[in-house]
């Protein structure tokens, strides 16, 4: 049992958010936020947030742990490179997403001069270079390493490809800072993304914090541990797996976060096919994160409208199409805008329902019937979420929604579409206090406390049972 308090900080793109946790009572002591001041001096926003917290608590406790995550300055912007699109390139992408990165580009096969110019121009924070199974293709990763090595890039490279080519690839990367990890796909169709994930996270701790101007806050912190999406993923893992011997965990968990720019989906489950169903394609990671860049409710409201169609949004919201159109246009231009009128609330909820429904449908696997000489056979592509028992909503859009339960219900399986392997009968929980990221951070020093705190803070929706 630990006494004292922990301070959990999220350096976001708009706000610096604080959660103070009483470690002994295992409860949230207070929340506060200040502006994000990453462009000038990050400590300004942090100080304002601390002042607000002090005003709320009376006095600031001496914090035993001070841990932070960050999605400021564009988050952890990564480029991933593999050989074949559906094999090492996909494995590399999954490793980067699992590390909480924003994947700004994925490249396959030989990098061209134009590719190199694009990558250099983007100035990613980290490049993940993969390609070839162990003992497999060497030629492409060596070509790509040489191309990156002479490109004038500044960022660190995580090298996680064919181990037979690792030494030579490292040499060809020249003066770039290189971290070598185990191959993301050591044998054909064998996914091994944890070592690359860990290497990316280490680069984040060692280098990115500095590059993003967060080092000024360093003396006020123990560590900036991970990108904020990785902290949410850690919380999902903690909730699913539990902590210690007497906290067995909730079992299979899905977490959705419909945001302004993207909709993130995290799942922790094996996702294996039902009996008699044949799996196809790359195996799925048990801890999986996907990011849908075209399903955002503010920055990407226009893209979302394009993706699902204004008619679907109007129908879902129960408002005329021209009203829906005007409201969506308003949202797209006003990123921090909360819904005011009834119609705005209805459209906001419709956008959220469509965004999480589509995002979970893409995260989930699908069934396909194949007719063989021996009769029909069922094939599964992707991850089977049908047995997921708990769906958790997090993020501002859900916390502020009038009926978060109806939004989360869009994640569940649709009886009219039995080919989509979404959760069949989940219960819905809401992270109303925005504590999941904080629990993900706290899990690194006090997993049992973090687990109890997460469970206590999740609010059951739509008449569901508390966790």
Q: Which of 270/370 has CB closer to another protein? A: 370
Q: Which of 108/457 has CB closer to another protein? A: 108
Q: Contact region for another protein (CB under 8 A) — 49-57, 125-133, 213-221, 236-244?
A: 125-133
- Residue span 261-300 as binding mask against another protein, x where in contact by CB under 8 A, dash where not: -----------------x-x--------------------
Q: Which of 33, 37, 69, 133 binds another protein (CB under 8 A)?
A: 133
| Cβ 53 vs Cβ 18: under 8 Å | yes
Instruction: Tell me: does residue 424 bind another protein (CB under 8 A).
Output: no
Distance CA 458, CA 467 (A): 8
Strands 223-227, 15-22: pairing kind: unpaired
Q: How far is the CB of 115 from another protein (least distance, A)?
A: 17
Q: What is the DSSP letter of 337?
A: P
Measured CA to CA in angstroms, residue 16 lies from 66, 102, 296, 451 at distances of 14, 19, 21, 23
Q: How far is the CB of 419 from another protein (least distance, A)?
A: 17
Q: Which of 245/372 has CB closer to another protein? A: 372
**Please, which of residues 371-390 interact with another protein by CB under 8 A?**
371-374, 377, 379
Q: Which of 180/189 has CB closer to another protein? A: 189
Q: Which of 24, 27, 55, 135 binds another protein (CB under 8 A)?
A: 135
113 contacts: CB under 8 Å, gap ≥ 6: none
Instruction: Tell me: does residue 139 bind another protein (CB under 8 A).
Output: yes
Q: How far is the CB of 200 from another protein (least distance, A)?
A: 21
User: Helix/strand/coil (H, E, C) string of 121-182?
Assistant: HHCCCEEEECCCCCCCCCHHHHHHHHHHHCCCCCCCEEECCCHHHHHHHHHHCCCCCEEECC
Q: Contact region for another protein (CB under 8 A) — 20-28, 127-135, 250-258, 437-445?
A: 127-135
Token pair recorded at residue 55: 């005003």
Q: How far is the CB of 97 from another protein (least distance, A)?
A: 20
Q: Contact region for another protein (CB under 8 A) — 97-105, 135-143, 417-425, 454-462?
A: 135-143
Q: Which of 218/381 has CB closer to another protein? A: 381
Q: By CB neighbour count within 10 A (0-12 exposed, 13-18 middle, 19+ buried), where does 334 fall? A: exposed
Instruction: Tell me: does residue 367 bind another protein (CB under 8 A).
Output: no
**Please, which of residues 62-101 interact with another protein by CB under 8 A?**
83-84, 86-88
Strands 102-107, 77-81: pairing kind: parallel
Q: Which of 56, 64, 66, 138 binds another protein (CB under 8 A)?
A: 138
Distance CA 378, CA 366 (A): 10
**Please, which of residues 142-181 interact with another protein by CB under 8 A?**
none
Rg (CA), the chain: 22
Q: Which of 186/423 has CB closer to another protein? A: 186
**Please, which of residues 435-464 interact with another protein by CB under 8 A?**
none
Instruction: Tell me: does residue 370 bind another protein (CB under 8 A).
Output: yes
Strands 5-11, 63-70: pairing kind: parallel
Distance CA 46, CA 37 (A): 8
String of DSSP letters for 298-310: STTHHHHHHHH-H
Q: Which of 12, 34, 75, 132 binds another protein (CB under 8 A)?
A: 132
Q: Which of 375/415 has CB closer to another protein? A: 375
Q: How far is the CB of 87 from another protein (least distance, A)?
A: 5
**Please, which of residues 232-251 interact with another protein by CB under 8 A?**
none
Q: How far is the CB of 132 from another protein (least distance, A)?
A: 6
What share of residues in the chain are helix, strand, coil (percent, to 5)?
40, 25, 40
428 contacts: CB under 8 Å, gap ≥ 6: 391, 392, 393, 404, 405, 408, 409, 460, 461, 462, 464
String of DSSP letters for 11-78: E-SSEEEEEEEETTTTEEEEEEEEE--TTS-HHHHHHHHHHHHHHHHSSPPPEEEEEEEE--TTSSEE
Instruction: Choose among 397, 466, 387, 399: nearest CA to 429.
Output: 466
Q: Contact region for another protein (CB under 8 A) — 43-51, 132-140, 247-255, 332-340?
A: 132-140
Q: How far is the CB of 195 from another protein (least distance, A)?
A: 18
| Cβ 129 vs Cβ 160: under 8 Å | yes
Identify any residues that bridge with 6 across adjacent strands, giving them in sequence order: 21, 65
Q: How far is the CB of 81 from another protein (least distance, A)?
A: 14
For another protein, how many residues bind (rule: CB under 8 A)?
26
Q: Contact region for another protein (CB under 8 A) — 39-47, 119-127, 365-373, 397-405?
A: 365-373
**Please, which of residues 180-219 interact with another protein by CB under 8 A?**
185, 187-189
User: Which residues here bind another protein, judged by CB under 8 A?
Assistant: 83-84, 86-88, 131-133, 135-139, 185, 187-189, 278, 280, 370-374, 377, 379
């Amino acid at each position: 049992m630990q006494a004292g308090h922990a301070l959990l900080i999220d350096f976001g793109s708009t706000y610096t958010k604080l959660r103070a946790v009483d470690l002994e009572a295992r409860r949230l002591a207070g929340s506060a936020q200040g502006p994000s001041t990453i462009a000038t001096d990050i400590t300004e926003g942090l100080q304002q947030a601390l002042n607000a917290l002090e005003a709320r608590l009376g006095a600031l406790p001496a914090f035993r742990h001070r841990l932070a995550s960050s999605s400021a300055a564009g988050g952890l912007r990564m480029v991933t490179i593999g050989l074949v699109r559906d094999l090492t390139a996909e494995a590399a992408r999954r490793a980067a997403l699992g590390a909480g990165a924003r994947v700004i580009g994925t490249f396959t096969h030989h990098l061209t001069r134009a590719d190199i110019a694009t990558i250099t121009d983007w100035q990613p924070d980290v490049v993940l270079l993969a390609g070839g199974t162990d003992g497999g293709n060497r030629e492409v990763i060596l070509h790509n390493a040489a191309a990156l090595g002479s490109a004038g890039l500044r960022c660190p490279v995580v090298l996680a490809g064919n181990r037979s080519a690792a030494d030579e690839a490292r040499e060809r990367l020249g003066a770039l800072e290189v971290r070598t990890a185990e191959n993301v796909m050591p044998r054909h169709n064998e996914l091994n993304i944890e070592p690359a994930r860990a290497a990316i996270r280490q680069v984040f701790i060692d280098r990115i914090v500095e590059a993003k101007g967060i080092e000024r806050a360093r003396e006020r912190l123990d560590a900036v541990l991970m990108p904020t999406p990785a902290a949410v993923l850690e919380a999902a893992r903690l909730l699913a797996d539990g902590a210690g011997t007497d906290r067995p965990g909730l079992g299979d968990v899905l977490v959705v976060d419909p945001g302004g720019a993207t909709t993130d989906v995290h799942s922790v489950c094996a996702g294996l096919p039902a009996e008699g169903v044949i799996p196809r394609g790359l195996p799925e990671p048990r801890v999986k994160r996907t990011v849908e860049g075209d399903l955002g409710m503010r920055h990407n409201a226009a893209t979302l409208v394009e993706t699902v169609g204004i008619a679907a949004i109007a129908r879902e919201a129960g408002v005329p199409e021209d009203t829906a159109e005007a409201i969506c246009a308003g949202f797209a231009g006003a990123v921090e805008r909360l819904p005011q009128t009834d119609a705005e609330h209805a459209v906001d909820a419709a956008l959220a329902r469509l965004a999480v429904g589509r995002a979970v449908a893409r995260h989930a696997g699908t069934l396909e019937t194949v007719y063989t000489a021996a009769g029909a056979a069922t094939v599964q592509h992707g991850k089977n979420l049908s047995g997921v028992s708990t769906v958790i909503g997090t993020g501002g859009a859900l916390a502020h929604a009038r009926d978060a339960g109806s939004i989360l219900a869009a994640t569940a399986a649709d009886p009219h579409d039995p080919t989509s392997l979404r959760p069949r009968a989940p219960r819905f929980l809401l992270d109303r206090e925005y504590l999941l990221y904080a629990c993900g951070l706290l899990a690194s020093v006090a997993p049992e406390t973090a687990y109890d705190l997460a469970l206590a803070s999740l609010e059951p929706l739509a008449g569901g049972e508390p966790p």
